[in-house]
Amino acid sequence: MNKINTLFANRGDKKFLSLYFCAGCPTLESIGDVILTMQRRGIDFIEVGIPFSDPLADGPVIQSAATQALKNGMTVQLIFDQLKSIKDEVTIPLILMGYLNPILHYGIEAFCQSCVESGVSGAIIPDLPFDDYLNIVKPVADKYDLRIIMLITPETSDDRIRFIDDHTDGFIYMVSSASITGTQKSFDEQKQEYFRRIDAMHLRNPRMIGFGISNQQTLKAAQDNAAGAIIGSKFVTLLNESKNADEALDRLFDALAQ
Protein backbone atom coordinates (compact mmCIF):
# COMPACT_ATOMS: atom_id res chain seq x y z
CA MET A 1 0.00 0.00 0.00
CA ASN A 2 1.13 3.56 -0.69
CA LYS A 3 2.83 5.08 2.38
CA ILE A 4 0.39 8.01 2.45
CA ASN A 5 -2.62 5.71 2.63
CA THR A 6 -0.94 3.55 5.25
CA LEU A 7 -0.14 6.59 7.39
CA PHE A 8 -3.69 7.88 7.41
CA ALA A 9 -5.27 4.43 7.75
CA ASN A 10 -3.31 3.80 10.95
CA ARG A 11 -3.54 7.26 12.54
CA GLY A 12 -6.40 6.65 14.99
CA ASP A 13 -6.85 9.90 16.93
CA LYS A 14 -3.35 11.18 16.13
CA LYS A 15 -3.02 14.63 14.63
CA PHE A 16 -0.28 14.87 12.03
CA LEU A 17 2.36 17.51 11.47
CA SER A 18 3.88 17.83 8.01
CA LEU A 19 6.67 20.21 7.07
CA TYR A 20 7.68 21.70 3.75
CA PHE A 21 11.16 22.72 2.70
CA CYS A 22 12.64 23.69 -0.63
CA ALA A 23 15.12 21.23 -2.14
CA GLY A 24 18.51 22.85 -2.60
CA CYS A 25 18.08 25.43 0.13
CA PRO A 26 19.90 26.34 2.30
CA THR A 27 22.55 24.26 0.49
CA LEU A 28 22.59 22.13 -2.63
CA GLU A 29 23.35 18.92 -0.73
CA SER A 30 21.04 19.44 2.27
CA ILE A 31 18.06 17.30 1.20
CA GLY A 32 19.13 14.09 2.92
CA ASP A 33 20.12 15.74 6.19
CA VAL A 34 16.91 17.77 6.42
CA ILE A 35 14.66 14.79 5.69
CA LEU A 36 16.39 12.38 8.03
CA THR A 37 16.49 14.97 10.81
CA MET A 38 12.78 15.66 10.45
CA GLN A 39 12.04 11.93 10.47
CA ARG A 40 14.12 11.45 13.62
CA ARG A 41 12.35 14.36 15.31
CA GLY A 42 8.88 12.89 14.74
CA ILE A 43 7.55 14.75 11.70
CA ASP A 44 4.85 12.57 10.16
CA PHE A 45 5.44 13.28 6.48
CA ILE A 46 7.45 15.74 4.44
CA GLU A 47 6.81 17.95 1.43
CA VAL A 48 9.93 18.50 -0.65
CA GLY A 49 9.63 21.61 -2.78
CA ILE A 50 10.84 21.63 -6.38
CA PRO A 51 12.30 25.10 -6.94
CA PHE A 52 10.79 27.07 -9.80
CA SER A 53 11.53 30.52 -11.14
CA ASP A 54 7.90 31.68 -11.06
CA PRO A 55 6.14 30.20 -8.00
CA LEU A 56 2.84 32.09 -8.25
CA ALA A 57 1.14 30.60 -5.18
CA ASP A 58 4.08 31.17 -2.86
CA GLY A 59 4.89 34.13 -0.69
CA PRO A 60 8.24 35.90 -0.45
CA VAL A 61 9.81 33.38 1.95
CA ILE A 62 9.36 30.36 -0.32
CA GLN A 63 10.03 32.42 -3.44
CA SER A 64 13.36 33.46 -1.95
CA ALA A 65 14.19 29.86 -1.02
CA ALA A 66 13.40 28.70 -4.56
CA THR A 67 15.58 31.43 -6.04
CA GLN A 68 18.46 30.43 -3.77
CA ALA A 69 18.01 26.75 -4.61
CA LEU A 70 18.15 27.48 -8.33
CA LYS A 71 21.25 29.61 -7.84
CA ASN A 72 22.77 26.69 -5.92
CA GLY A 73 22.21 24.51 -8.98
CA MET A 74 19.21 22.40 -7.92
CA THR A 75 17.36 20.52 -10.67
CA VAL A 76 14.55 17.98 -10.73
CA GLN A 77 17.03 15.25 -11.66
CA LEU A 78 19.33 16.17 -8.79
CA ILE A 79 16.39 16.04 -6.37
CA PHE A 80 15.66 12.48 -7.45
CA ASP A 81 19.33 11.53 -7.24
CA GLN A 82 19.62 12.85 -3.68
CA LEU A 83 16.34 11.25 -2.60
CA LYS A 84 17.40 7.92 -4.06
CA SER A 85 20.59 8.01 -1.98
CA ILE A 86 18.57 8.01 1.28
CA LYS A 87 15.64 5.91 0.10
CA ASP A 88 16.45 2.92 2.31
CA GLU A 89 16.62 5.10 5.43
CA VAL A 90 13.31 6.92 4.95
CA THR A 91 10.23 5.31 6.48
CA ILE A 92 7.76 8.23 6.36
CA PRO A 93 5.93 9.44 3.24
CA LEU A 94 7.68 11.97 1.02
CA ILE A 95 5.65 14.24 -1.24
CA LEU A 96 7.13 16.38 -3.98
CA MET A 97 5.51 19.80 -4.31
CA GLY A 98 6.18 21.70 -7.49
CA TYR A 99 4.74 23.58 -10.40
CA LEU A 100 3.70 21.95 -13.65
CA ASN A 101 6.32 23.47 -15.95
CA PRO A 102 9.41 21.65 -14.56
CA ILE A 103 7.43 18.40 -14.33
CA LEU A 104 6.27 18.64 -17.95
CA HIS A 105 9.84 19.40 -18.99
CA TYR A 106 11.00 16.27 -17.15
CA GLY A 107 8.11 14.24 -18.60
CA ILE A 108 5.01 13.02 -16.77
CA GLU A 109 5.81 9.30 -17.01
CA ALA A 110 9.50 9.83 -16.28
CA PHE A 111 8.55 11.96 -13.28
CA CYS A 112 6.20 9.32 -11.85
CA GLN A 113 8.72 6.54 -12.44
CA SER A 114 11.50 8.56 -10.80
CA CYS A 115 9.23 9.24 -7.82
CA VAL A 116 8.80 5.52 -7.24
CA GLU A 117 12.50 4.81 -7.73
CA SER A 118 13.47 7.48 -5.19
CA GLY A 119 10.89 6.64 -2.52
CA VAL A 120 8.39 9.43 -3.18
CA SER A 121 4.75 8.55 -2.40
CA GLY A 122 2.92 11.53 -3.85
CA ALA A 123 3.03 14.90 -5.55
CA ILE A 124 1.30 18.25 -5.17
CA ILE A 125 1.13 20.33 -8.34
CA PRO A 126 -0.69 23.58 -7.45
CA ASP A 127 -1.18 24.80 -11.03
CA LEU A 128 -2.28 21.45 -12.49
CA PRO A 129 -5.78 21.92 -14.04
CA PHE A 130 -8.14 19.27 -12.72
CA ASP A 131 -9.20 18.15 -16.21
CA ASP A 132 -5.55 17.60 -17.12
CA TYR A 133 -5.10 15.70 -13.86
CA LEU A 134 -8.00 13.38 -14.69
CA ASN A 135 -7.18 12.81 -18.35
CA ILE A 136 -3.39 12.98 -18.49
CA VAL A 137 -1.68 12.76 -15.11
CA LYS A 138 -3.91 10.45 -13.05
CA PRO A 139 -3.70 7.41 -15.39
CA VAL A 140 0.11 7.56 -15.30
CA ALA A 141 0.28 8.25 -11.55
CA ASP A 142 -2.08 5.34 -10.86
CA LYS A 143 0.17 3.06 -12.90
CA TYR A 144 3.01 3.87 -10.49
CA ASP A 145 0.83 3.93 -7.33
CA LEU A 146 1.65 7.62 -6.89
CA ARG A 147 -0.83 9.90 -5.13
CA ILE A 148 -1.55 13.30 -6.70
CA ILE A 149 -2.79 15.55 -3.90
CA MET A 150 -5.24 18.28 -4.88
CA LEU A 151 -5.79 21.61 -3.14
CA ILE A 152 -9.03 23.29 -2.15
CA THR A 153 -9.56 26.87 -0.93
CA PRO A 154 -12.39 28.78 0.77
CA GLU A 155 -13.58 29.73 -2.73
CA THR A 156 -13.87 26.12 -3.94
CA SER A 157 -17.54 25.17 -4.31
CA ASP A 158 -19.03 22.22 -2.44
CA ASP A 159 -19.75 20.45 -5.73
CA ARG A 160 -16.15 20.87 -6.83
CA ILE A 161 -14.85 19.66 -3.48
CA ARG A 162 -16.97 16.53 -3.67
CA PHE A 163 -15.79 15.93 -7.24
CA ILE A 164 -12.18 16.24 -6.11
CA ASP A 165 -12.89 13.93 -3.17
CA ASP A 166 -14.38 11.32 -5.50
CA HIS A 167 -11.44 11.34 -7.92
CA THR A 168 -8.39 11.59 -5.66
CA ASP A 169 -6.77 9.45 -3.01
CA GLY A 170 -4.38 10.04 -0.10
CA PHE A 171 -5.58 13.30 1.42
CA ILE A 172 -6.96 16.71 0.45
CA TYR A 173 -4.82 19.78 1.04
CA MET A 174 -7.02 22.50 2.52
CA VAL A 175 -5.48 25.88 1.82
CA SER A 176 -6.49 28.10 4.75
CA SER A 177 -7.00 31.13 2.52
CA ALA A 178 -6.96 32.08 -1.13
CA SER A 179 -3.84 34.20 -0.64
CA ILE A 180 -0.21 33.23 -1.12
CA THR A 181 1.77 31.21 1.41
CA GLY A 182 3.01 32.91 4.58
CA THR A 183 2.60 32.95 8.33
CA GLN A 184 -0.45 34.24 10.19
CA LYS A 185 -0.96 34.95 13.90
CA SER A 186 -4.50 33.58 13.95
CA PHE A 187 -7.33 32.32 11.76
CA ASP A 188 -10.29 34.71 11.72
CA GLU A 189 -13.92 33.68 12.01
CA GLN A 190 -14.30 33.49 8.24
CA LYS A 191 -11.54 30.91 8.01
CA GLN A 192 -12.92 29.02 11.02
CA GLU A 193 -16.30 28.86 9.29
CA TYR A 194 -14.61 27.47 6.18
CA PHE A 195 -12.97 24.76 8.31
CA ARG A 196 -16.34 23.88 9.88
CA ARG A 197 -18.10 23.83 6.49
CA ILE A 198 -15.63 21.34 5.04
CA ASP A 199 -15.71 19.21 8.20
CA ALA A 200 -19.52 18.99 7.95
CA MET A 201 -19.22 17.57 4.43
CA HIS A 202 -17.81 14.28 5.83
CA LEU A 203 -15.48 13.75 2.89
CA ARG A 204 -14.02 10.35 2.06
CA ASN A 205 -10.45 11.61 2.08
CA PRO A 206 -8.73 12.94 5.21
CA ARG A 207 -7.77 16.61 5.12
CA MET A 208 -4.64 18.54 6.04
CA ILE A 209 -4.67 22.31 6.54
CA GLY A 210 -1.81 24.47 5.33
CA PHE A 211 -0.82 28.10 4.62
CA GLY A 212 -0.34 30.46 7.56
CA ILE A 213 0.40 28.03 10.41
CA SER A 214 3.17 29.38 12.63
CA ASN A 215 2.09 29.33 16.30
CA GLN A 216 0.03 27.40 18.84
CA GLN A 217 -3.24 29.10 17.92
CA THR A 218 -3.06 28.40 14.20
CA LEU A 219 -1.72 24.88 14.77
CA LYS A 220 -4.56 24.02 17.15
CA ALA A 221 -7.17 25.42 14.76
CA ALA A 222 -5.79 23.26 11.96
CA GLN A 223 -5.54 20.13 14.06
CA ASP A 224 -9.00 20.64 15.55
CA ASN A 225 -10.57 20.85 12.10
CA ALA A 226 -8.58 18.32 10.07
CA ALA A 227 -6.21 15.38 10.29
CA GLY A 228 -3.35 17.75 10.91
CA ALA A 229 -1.33 20.75 9.80
CA ILE A 230 1.21 21.52 7.11
CA ILE A 231 3.84 24.17 7.86
CA GLY A 232 5.95 25.71 5.13
CA SER A 233 7.03 29.35 5.36
CA LYS A 234 7.76 29.31 9.09
CA PHE A 235 10.04 26.30 8.85
CA VAL A 236 11.72 27.54 5.67
CA THR A 237 12.51 30.83 7.43
CA LEU A 238 13.99 29.07 10.46
CA LEU A 239 15.98 26.63 8.33
CA ASN A 240 17.43 29.43 6.24
CA GLU A 241 18.37 31.41 9.36
CA SER A 242 19.97 28.53 11.26
CA LYS A 243 21.35 26.47 8.33
CA ASN A 244 20.79 23.50 10.69
CA ALA A 245 17.70 21.28 10.62
CA ASP A 246 17.85 20.31 14.31
CA GLU A 247 18.14 23.93 15.41
CA ALA A 248 15.35 24.98 13.04
CA LEU A 249 13.08 22.28 14.48
CA ASP A 250 13.91 23.34 18.04
CA ARG A 251 12.89 26.89 17.20
CA LEU A 252 9.77 25.73 15.34
CA PHE A 253 8.56 23.59 18.23
CA ASP A 254 9.15 26.53 20.59
CA ALA A 255 7.06 28.78 18.33
CA LEU A 256 4.26 26.20 18.13
CA ALA A 257 4.09 26.10 21.93
CA GLN A 258 3.40 29.85 22.15
Prior bond of 51 cis (ω within 30°): no
How many other C-beta atoms lie within 10 A of the C-beta of residue 58? Answer: 26
Give the β-pairing of 147-149 and 151-152.
Answer: unpaired
Q: Which residues are catalytic?
A: 47, 58
How many residues belong to the chain? 258
CB 118 within 8 A of CB 77: no
Amino acid, single-letter form, for residue 69:
A
Closest CA to 236 of 79, 44, 29, 63: 63
